[in-house]
Amino acid sequence: MEQPQQQPPQPEPPQQPARPWPRVFFDGYATAIRSVFFYVLVGNYVGLGALAFEFGFSFWWMAASTLLIWAAPAQVILISTLTTSALVEVALAVTLSSVRFLPMVASLIPLFNAPGVRQRDLLLPMHFTAISVWVEGMRLLPARPRGERVTFYNGLGSGLISGAIIGGAVGFYLAARLPLLLAATLLFFTPMALLMSTARNARALLDRLAFALGLVVGPLVAWLNFGLDLMWTGLIAGSIAYLVHRWREAKSMKATP
Amino acid sequence: MTVELHSYLILILVGFLPSEVWRWLGIALGRGLDEQSEIILWVRAVATALIAAVVARIVFIPPGALAGVPLSVRVVALAVGFFAFLFIRRSAFAGVVVGEAALVFGAMMFGG
């Protein structure tokens, strides 16, 4: 079915004289530091930094992985499986965990459409797109003049990513020096944060079922030990959840003609 | 090639590229994409289950210091944290704090 591409005209923010880009960038950066996500990210990455330390990665490798990947689940997968799994399996698991960026980025693009903005100008801001930056961007960008949006979003992303890098560094440093039990609590932070944040974002039955099945199927597949266990768990548990979702949709369609 | 350089090469090939490619595809596709399409729903379910598998892996095959805490304590602490999350206004913060407290308490009671 053809969908209308034309969007209703939105009220544009008033035209102001162009501000110098460092001011706009700093505006975005300051907004990031005041955002609640900044502190959530610091906590999250403290756990990740400790994880990186335990698995024997270097301090700078951890910082580089945050800067380059900028996706906590992908980084957890990379760090926790790289020493034990085949590279192909790690790459597959990382790529599956990051598919969510496709619809996220695609939904942001219309906000950046402006005269003079080319596709390659969007490579950097879209690299900054992670769940935190995306949520704040969707909320704040519409009120910004179109000409400032790319710069503002770059500032926002830089601010949040710097919180993550600081958190990672702190976690790496602490894991090496804390008593064993406290180091264990730092490492336990990552699975708990993943569990809670996924549960909070799970709106539909589909998400909840996929997560619950993954928790059960994961250890089972790992125990059966036929390799590529993360990928198989994702495919098996995810597909079952999807089929149940389809089946329920079909049933409710019949119930309400 | 040194080990150090090798680990950065792996970071780019196995970490950066497989993740970043979706952002590039997002730019290329722009808005010609429906977030509620069936394929996207299925992919989201697969990715969610995969995250769950990662959680289970860290709890069942824990790294370093966490391995010093008994398996039963790790599993119970995760469950306690999750129930705290459910009952305390779905607050992730409350869930994490209660889960961590349960881990420390369990480790001290049942050996660490």
- Whether A52 and A107 share a structural domain: yes
**Tokens standing for B111?**
């050996």
Q: Which of A88, A57, B65 is nearest to A75 (CA)?
A: A57
CB within 8 Å: A184 and B14: no
Say yes or no to pLDDT of A64 above 50: yes
Examine residue A6 and state whether it is found in any structural domain, yes or no. Answer: no
- Whether A74 and A174 share a structural domain: yes
Examine residue A213 and state whether it is found in any structural domain, yes or no. Answer: yes
Say yes or no to pLDDT of A2 above 50: no
- Whether A189 and A105 share a structural domain: yes
pLDDT tens digits along B20-37:
999 999 898 875 666 667
- Whether A194 and A208 share a structural domain: no
The DSSP symbol for B69 reads S
The DSSP symbol for A4 reads -
Residues of B in contact with A213 (CB under 8 A): 49, 52
Least confident of A42-46, A79-83, A240-244, B40-44: B40-44
Residues of B in contact with A118 (CB under 8 A): none
Say yes or no to pLDDT of A163 above 60: yes
Give B73 to chain A, closest Cα distance, Å: 12
ipTM: 0.85
Task: Give the whole-angstrom CA distance, residue A248 versus residue A243.
Answer: 9
% chain A with pLDDT above 70: 91
**Which of the listed residues A201, A219, A240 is the one where a domain comes to its end?**
A201
Examine residue A255 and state whether it is found in any structural domain, yes or no. Answer: yes
pLDDT of residue A11: 56
Give B46 to chain A, closest Cα distance, Å: 4
- Whether A172 and A240 share a structural domain: no
Q: CA A226, B41, A161: angle at the middle one, nearest 5?
A: 85
Residues B88-112 have a mean pLDDT of 89
Interface test with A, best of B21, B37, B38, B55 (most A CBs within 10 A): B55
DSSP output for A244-256: HHHHHHHHHHHH-
Task: Give the whole-angstrom CA distance, residue A238 versus residue B48.
Answer: 7
Q: Which of residues 7-26 of B touch A (CB under 8 A)?
A: 7-8, 10-16, 18-26
Examine residue A191 and state whether it is found in any structural domain, yes or no. Answer: yes
CB within 8 Å: A78 and B15: yes
- Whether A78 and A164 share a structural domain: yes
- Whether A195 and A214 share a structural domain: no
CB within 8 Å: A194 and B51: yes
| Contact (CB, 8 A) for A97 and A73 | yes
pLDDT of residue A97: 86
User: Any idea how long chain B is?
Assistant: 112
pLDDT tens digits along A171-213:
999 998 888 888 889 889 888 888 887 887 776 788 899 999 9
> pLDDT grade, residue B11 (50/70/90)?
very high
Examine residue A8 and state whether it is found in any structural domain, yes or no. Answer: no
CB within 8 Å: B63 and A103: no
State the average pLDDT for chain A: 86
pTM over 0.90: no
- Whether A212 and A245 share a structural domain: yes
Give B101 to chain A, closest Cα distance, Å: 9
HSE value, Cβ hemisphere, 13 Å, CA-based, for A123: 7
Examine residue A16 and state whether it is found in any structural domain, yes or no. Answer: no
Identify the sign of the CA torsion A235, A237, A241, A247.
positive
- Cβ-count burial of A232 within 10 angstroms (0-12 exposed, 13-18 middle, 19+ buried)? buried
Residues of A in contact with B15 (CB under 8 A): 65, 68-69, 74-75, 78, 94
Helix (H) or strand (E) holding A190: helix A180-201
Number of domains in chain A: 2
- Whether A181 and A212 share a structural domain: no
- B49 closest CB neighbour out of A187, A199, A238: A238
**Which of the listed residues A186, A201, A216 is the one where a domain comes to its end?**
A201
% chain B with pLDDT above 90: 49
State the residue range of the domain holding A229: 203-257
> pLDDT grade, residue A17 (50/70/90)?
low
Examine residue A116 and state whether it is found in any structural domain, yes or no. Answer: yes
- Whether A185 and A217 share a structural domain: no
Interface test with A, best of B13, B40, B54 (most A CBs within 10 A): B54
Residues B75-93 have a mean pLDDT of 92
